[in-house]
């Protein structure tokens, strides 16, 4: 199984999941270092931070809901 790796701030992050345009990433050297970014709709090679806390909560809810559904 191939894992996508993204280098951000000189650290390698593994793609844990992608839901819609949200990328859920985990630092390959520190599992407690995680990121949620979103793909730029105009350029899928560009990643953007989430806009605000509401968007963060929405992205986190999508991830947790998917995890619960897959583990039933």
Q: Quote the pLDDT of residue 32.
A: 95
In terms of residue numbers, what domain contains 26? Answer: 5-70
Total domains in the chain come to 1
The mean pLDDT of the chain is 93
Q: Average pLDDT of 24-41? A: 95
- E-state strands within 1-72: 5-8, 11-19, 22-27, 30-40, 43-48
Q: Quote the pLDDT of residue 1.
A: 62
For residue 63, give the 3-state DSSP assignment. helix
Q: Average pLDDT of 26-43? A: 95
Q: Average pLDDT of 45-50? A: 93
* Per-residue pLDDT tens over the stretch 9-31: 999 999 999 999 999 999 999 98
């Amino acid at each position: 199984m191939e894992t996508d790796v993204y280098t951000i701030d000189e650290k390698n992050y593994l793609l844990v999941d992608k839901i819609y345009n949200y990328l859920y990433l985990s630092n390959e050297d520190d599992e407690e270092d995680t990121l949620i970014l979103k793909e730029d709709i105009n350029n899928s090679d560009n990643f953007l931070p989430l806009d605000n806390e509401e968007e963060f909560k929405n992205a986190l809810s999508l991830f947790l809901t998917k995890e619960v559904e897959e583990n039933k």
